[in-house]
Structure 1
Amino acid sequence: MTNNLVENTIEQNADSTPADHVNSANGMMMQLQYAAPSHVSLSENNQSDHTQHVALFTQMHRDAVSFHGRVKDPLVFRDSLLALFDVVSSDYRYVPKDRAAYTVFRQMRRASRNKNLFSAQRDYFTWLFNNDPLAFCILDPIIQVHQEGVSFEVFSRDEGCYAQLTLQRDLFEMDSDTVLGTTSIDYSSALFDGIEQIRDHQTTTLDIGQEAVRLQRSESSETDDGEPEDKNEVIEKRINVPKSWIRALLQVQSAGQLAKERIDLDPIALYNVLFELRMHADIKGKRRGLLIELIPQQLPVIILEPFDIAVTSQVSRQQTPYQGQKSKLIRLWGRRRLSLLKRLLPHTDTVSVSLLGQGMPSYWTLTGKGFHFTFAMTGFSQANWSQSLNFDLLLPKRPQYNVLDSDYKENNNVLPLMQALAEQPSGIDALSERLSTQDNPITTSYVRQQLLSGAQQGLIRYDIANQSYYYRPLTQTPLEMAQFAHHNEAEKQAFDLVSREDSVQNLSVQTVVTQGVSISADIQVKEDRRTYRSQLQLGEDGLVSRAECSCPQYLQHRLSQGVCAHLIALRLSYHQYDHTQTNSWHDTRTLSKRVPKHHQKSQKAAPYPAQNVFKTKQQSANNAARSTLSANDILDLSALAQGLTPIDTDARQTTRKHTGHTISYVHLTCDHKKVLIEHIMDNDSTRQQFVFNQPAQAHAAFLQHIARFEAQGFIENKGV
């Protein structure tokens, strides 16, 4: 790779029009041209040993990329590519029943009753290709040949999974020199069928490039002068890629650079999770989350809801406990997508999980001999506007232009960063040292900001496994960032409303036990000369369960025509809301703890003794006639905590004998002068309510209750 790679890219973009994609209102029409379809061929050499030849043909309109080598471990090579194909072809979106397709199928079967099997199958796939072309539509992977090996990037059809596979050079025996670069490869079901036939006793070679294509796909023709001419057959794919697909791909890849919690697991622990998911089907109306319990200096515990099955690592001695300073309980969704990793588990040595937060994307990195596979599970689908909006708020504001666009020459200070990555992939610290000079030192925070901006523009790829950055342009021509700034016009208007002063008034945030968060505000729109009342109800998983607005769009169409800008502005305001403020006397906290099942009756029967509760009510009545407590006074709530039996030595020994556990939830609510405590275990619940003279007293008692429950081993679930 030459030193003038980035500059040459800018000159080519300024002199030529985009050849690989055409922008449209609905998406981006990508024209991918290959000299031949990728395939796996069986050849026979002089020693009469069969050799599997994997030929991956690159896109013709992009820079030439070549890689040739013999695979040392064919099984790792086979299973990793098959796992990559499982991710790119996965679609976990809910599909309702359609009787029309079944009716057409019955008619076609009656018409093909007298045909043989081959003709019937041919007619069926012809009809499917003509009537449902999306069934065969997958976007070809992005492949990059770099100094450390070969990397593949794919994104699923439902916009919920991202995978990055790196095959290191140690996995190959190189036959010739490689040409570094980035391009696309043809990836189809025929290639998938050929890769499945790879076996360990056969020699497998990998060939990436275009030089062998012209020899295999050339045919002779005559010109007007009668002279023979070689003409290459070219296969062309036209795929209309939605803009939301590319936007989500860029954001999932760039979000891996943000601050996150990292834990280590054994491969057997991930296998146990997949085994339990396969043995237990989801229950309609019940929780479907994946709880990860993090306690300082203890091994992470994965809990499957609603079965309360706890999975922990117990085999590997190399696993380190959680190194955080505070206990956390993080809930993830989309757990069924983890089954896409089952092919790689036999070859995996270590598993690391990076967590961005409650309901946010999680990155699962599987590392083995000669490869590492990073799987990003976003937990939301294309139609989930509330969850995708949550994900967008994690990242800084998207740039409105591309740094490689020649029209913006004043931003050439970013080009040295791209050029340094094109020469050698590096981390943040090494990159800042390379770019810094005595007269112009560059800080790591500035480099991190520029790298995140480059990743959002599709120019930089971040590898979580080795924490390195690579220069990887997603397309041959720079993306027009103005088209990917917002999902729609309503979201653009919402960001404009939030940026104004006093546009969101009377913001109210209230947490309702077992229902979620209720948000309401008055949205003032100067252009309409009106103020609209908007309300949202967020569930525990961050999804919008109820939405109301007084604007004409909602009153006429409800949510059938999309979400109005006022509801999106309310959601953005809630993200900027200070959840730690103490001047609000309405707050709800949820705490949970895993307890043995044989302790259910003792803990559910009476969390607080009746006598102590009665005495507390009498004390509250007597305090009503007294003056207000000062801020320095400390409420004595020892009577309220006597019902919480501490975990003694005998109980711990008994707990070790029983492997069955359940989750005990405690909901504490402070509502002005009242404190409500609700204890829930399985289907049973108990409620306690205390009334105080002043809101300050109730809030102080509320905080003391939280501290006492945390001392008993309960972990606060902060929610979304």
Structure 2
Amino acid sequence: MNLSLAYLGKSRLTNTGGGNVMQLMPNLQRDPVAFDAALKHPLRFREAISALHDIVISDLRFQPRDKTAYFAWKKEQDNLRAQRIRQLSQANWKEIQQKQEKEISKDFEKLFEAKNKQYWQARSKFNTYLWKHDPELWRQIMPCDPVVTVSDEVVFFECFSADESSYGCLTVEREAGFGRSDEMQFGTTNVDYSWDLYHYFQSLRSYRETRLKVDPAGFGVATEGHPDYREEKIDLPPGWLRGFMQIQAAMGLPTKQVRLSREAVYSLMAFLKRNKAKTSPRALRFELLPGEFPQLVLEPWEERIVSRHSRYDGPSQEPVRIWGRRRLLALSRLLPLLDHVDVYLLGTGLPSFWVAQLGEMRLTMGLSGWTTNDWTRGSAIDLLAPPVDLQKAARDRIAQHIRQNQAVSLEELATATGIDRAECLAGLSYLAHTGQVIYDLASGVYRWRQVMSEALGEREMGPESPELVASRKLLAKGLVKNLSTQEVDSEQLLLTAKIAGCETEVLLDGEGRIKRGKCTCRHYKQYALKNGPCQHMLALRARNLQKKQTTDEKASDWYDRLVNWSNSVN
């Protein structure tokens, strides 16, 4: 998807003599948004916005060794070889021109797909190179200008990480976090962001007043031809926007809440900083026993960290395991200012949300099931999606009520609209997935927030993986037959089944990922696992994840299942 942005000047920090003004330039392609108020706690805001920045730039995907010098030498040799080949092939130029006049071959579409894949691989490598060697240029071309929303109660900043596995949202209470604002206009917009602005944040001090200003000046002047006016067109990577929307939908689902003390979070980060696991399993395990303090267990060392903030008062639960724990180090800067951290769990291998409470501010960090799960490629989060779509008239009624009231709870929404709670949640999940609402975990309310100027559809977010779509259809039709499970060892599980006439076998590691597999389908025979698992392997893994659950036939069954799992809230 191509995203168009237009700014009048750059965001900057200016000195007014008596203090500083942090001026954020909004996207002129969106509806006007305005805000101007003094920060009451600039140091706390500095650390929180810096942690949000760390989430934006985080990329914990596997990074191969830097072979830039070797490839430069190899390229030089290739150029010399190509030069010799050109000298030898000039005699065949006429023959090449004759071939160009022929009709397009039948393999043109396959060739295009291959070249398109090659382009994105090259772009990803170039992105990694810039991130390491030229961060300023990398920041200019990366699609991570934060989304800022000004509402009647809060001002919040949202972002998505470079590796598409982490989400960050800094929420500041308007009355407690800011002084009086004489210029305010509710809405959502992108704001210009750069490394210079990040460095400006580091200069915030408590003895010097700092005002946060979302400047609407560009909306009221003739910007075309203005020397500071600039337009940017960003080609969003495939799956980036879809992943951003999927995490919004996941936030609104019923979760299990665990409160961690600052000491427990410090111990967790200190251990992760000093140790790096070289073997599986690498999960962070939550052990919750009635009447006991919550325990975090770091695998494979079995290091236990006890949080003594409050005891767990729910029923006994199976341990919940999450992966990609090193992403939590982005919260390190917040430790001196931290009150506590509320963790919201959806289940083993599913997303988790960490809400760091900082007085009148809170930073929400959403993590996908594991670092390499970018929310879009066969994610287990699909098992939590509503089984039915709410009718458009009901969805419009829900959207209109939230837009009028800016923030509402699920109970208030169900009462005001006369729609069943389960169907309301299904409608809210749809609105979140299309970028129109966001769920505030700490406040327990849904807020109106349009991430784009219009509701997003499949066309804007780009198509899902065909194999993933096909695997859902196989599950819906109940075509996974004769499912068999066998424990190979304590950390590996072998699954076999017959799916739509294909004999399928999958080996899962201790983290629930497909380690290897085989299938008699055409996709596997042609690509093996080079292009990812086939639809039958994805369906087999998903069926194994949901085999203990009953099949949802309507929204109420789906809602009851999620609530029953999450009703033991700490």
In the superposition, the TM-score normalised over structure 1's length comes to 0.64
Cα deviation per residue 1:96-139 (whole Å; 9 max; x = unaligned)?
1241356659999xxxxxxxxxxxxxxx9899669995895241
Candidates 329, 346, 368, aligned match of 1:339: 329
Q: Which amino acid aligns with 1:283?
A: A
For 1:570 and 1:485, how far apart are their aligned partners in 2? 25
Residue matched to 1:375: 365
For 1:520 and 1:266, how far apart are their aligned partners in 2? 43
Candidates 416, 435, 440, aligned match of 1:463: 440
Residue matched to 1:447: 424
Residue matched to 1:654: none
Cα deviation per residue 1:149-187 (whole Å; 9 max; x = unaligned)?
211111101111111111111111123131001111112
CA contact (8 A) 1:83 1:340 kept: yes
Cα deviation per residue 1:593-616 (whole Å; 9 max; x = unaligned)?
xxxxxxxxxxxxxxxxxxxxxxxx
Cα deviation per residue 1:425-467 (whole Å; 9 max; x = unaligned)?
01111222333xxxxx433223222111211111110010111
Residue matched to 2:38: 70
Displacement of 1:561 after TM fit?
2.9
- The answer as to 2:511 corresponding to 1:511 is no
Cα deviation per residue 1:541-595 (whole Å; 9 max; x = unaligned)?
1011121112233233311133222222323333443479xxxxxxxxxxxxxxx
Classify 1:549/1:135 alpha carbon distance in 2 versus 1 (closer, same or farther; 3 Å).
farther
Residue matched to 1:141: 146
For 1:165 and 1:71, how far apart are their aligned partners in 2? 14
- The answer as to 2:413 corresponding to 1:431 is yes
Candidates 513, 535, 540, aligned match of 1:543: 513
CA contact (8 A) 1:74 1:198 kept: yes
CA contact (8 A) 1:68 1:208 kept: yes
Classify 1:385/1:182 alpha carbon distance in 2 versus 1 (closer, same or farther; 3 Å).
closer
- The answer as to 2:402 corresponding to 1:421 is yes
Classify 1:551/1:192 alpha carbon distance in 2 versus 1 (closer, same or farther; 3 Å).
same
Classify 1:213/1:105 alpha carbon distance in 2 versus 1 (closer, same or farther; 3 Å).
farther
Displacement of 1:214 after TM fit?
7.3
Q: Which amino acid aligns with 2:226?
A: K
Paired residue secondary structure (2:384): coil
Cα deviation per residue 1:363-382 (whole Å; 9 max; x = unaligned)?
11111222111111214345
Classify 1:102/1:461 alpha carbon distance in 2 versus 1 (closer, same or farther; 3 Å).
farther
Residue matched to 1:635: none
Identity %: 29
Q: Which amino acid aligns with 1:188?
A: S
For 2:484 and 2:378, how far apart are their aligned partners in 1? 23
Residue matched to 1:92: 60
Candidates 285, 291, 295, aligned match of 2:279: 285
Residue matched to 1:324: 314
Displacement of 1:74 after TM fit?
0.8
Displacement of 1:239 after TM fit?
1.8
For 2:412 and 2:265, how far apart are their aligned partners in 1? 34
Classify 1:570/1:173 alpha carbon distance in 2 versus 1 (closer, same or farther; 3 Å).
same
Q: Which amino acid aligns with 2:411?
A: D
CA contact (8 A) 1:57 1:213 kept: no
Displacement of 1:34 after TM fit?
0.9
Classify 1:519/1:387 alpha carbon distance in 2 versus 1 (closer, same or farther; 3 Å).
farther
| Bigger proportion of residues as strand | 1
Displacement of 1:52 after TM fit?
1.7
Residue matched to 1:112: none
Classify 1:207/1:573 alpha carbon distance in 2 versus 1 (closer, same or farther; 3 Å).
same
Classify 1:328/1:573 alpha carbon distance in 2 versus 1 (closer, same or farther; 3 Å).
closer
Displacement of 1:398 after TM fit?
8.6
For 1:323 and 1:130, how far apart are their aligned partners in 2? 47
Q: Which runs of 5+ in 2 are unaligned?
A: 77-128, 551-570
Residue matched to 1:224: none
Candidates 128, 152, 156, aligned match of 2:161: 156
Displacement of 1:201 after TM fit?
1.3
For 1:213 and 1:30, how far apart are their aligned partners in 2? 19
In the superposition, the TM-score normalised over structure 2's length comes to 0.80
Cα deviation per residue 1:655-708 (whole Å; 9 max; x = unaligned)?
xxxxxxxxxxxxxxxxxxxxxxxxxxxxxxxxxxxxxxxxxxxxxxxxxxxxxx
Classify 1:493/1:132 alpha carbon distance in 2 versus 1 (closer, same or farther; 3 Å).
farther
Q: How much is the aligned-residue C-alpha RMSD, in angstroms?
A: 3.2
Pairs within 5 Å for 1:577-588 = 577-578=547-548
CA contact (8 A) 1:294 1:327 kept: yes
Candidates 367, 389, 394, aligned match of 2:384: 394
CA contact (8 A) 2:28 2:218 kept: no
Residue matched to 1:113: none
| Bigger proportion of residues as helix | 2
For 2:298 and 2:25, how far apart are their aligned partners in 1? 43
- The answer as to 2:163 corresponding to 1:195 is no
Bigger radius of gyration: 1
Paired residue secondary structure (2:423): helix
For 1:127 and 1:269, how far apart are their aligned partners in 2? 33
